[in-house]
Structure 1
């Protein structure tokens, strides 16, 4: 839950600055998609959350 809330805040902040600077490239599309999945918690959110959690655990174990 804590990771999800943090990622929503991070994606929201990044998306805000990308939209404000009018940078609408592939990075903005990925950010918007990630923000939408984490925020809406759709059926696809569980696998995305699991992938993100495993990536975070992998990075912290390095």
Structure 2
């Protein structure tokens, strides 16, 4: 990651993706912090209002940690 590179701002709506053993679940989430690629932040699932830890990809997608 380049220092200072931000792809996700706090409160931004981001794609939230969980993938395991061929199962893919995708929904919208709200970033609870500012982050760049490779950073891990808390993201709130908008549908269930639960928070999860997710790693931000270069594409701005929040990938749920397994």
TM-score relative to the length of structure 2: 0.24
Q: Which of these two proteins has the greater Rg computed from alpha carbons? A: 1
TM-score relative to the length of structure 1: 0.24
Which of the two has greater strand per residue? 2
Which of the two has greater helix per residue? 1
